[in-house]
Amino acid sequence: MAHDHDHDHSHPGSELSPMELRVRALESVLVEKGYVDPAALDALIETYETKVGPHNGARVVARAWVDPAFRARLMADATPAMRELGIGGRGGEHMVVVANTPEEHNLVVCTLCSCYPWPVLGLPPVWYKSPPYRSRAVIEPRAVLAEFGVTLPADQRIRVWDSTAELRYMVLPMRPAGTEGLDEAALAALVTRDAMIGTGLPHTPEQNA
Distance CA 112, CA 129 (A): 9
Q: Please, which residues have CB within 8 angstroms of residue 151's CB and are 6 or more apart in sequence?
A: 145
Distance CA 174, CA 61 (A): 9
Cβ 168 vs Cβ 91: under 8 Å: yes
Distance CA 33, CA 108 (A): 40
Distance CA 184, CA 66 (A): 7
The SS3 assignment for 168 reads: strand
In angstroms and rounded to an integer, the radius of gyration of the C-alpha atoms of the chain is: 19
Which backbone phi and psi does 144 adopt, to 5 degrees?
-65, -45
Please identify every residue annotated as catalytic: 110, 113-115
Cβ 163 vs Cβ 108: under 8 Å: yes
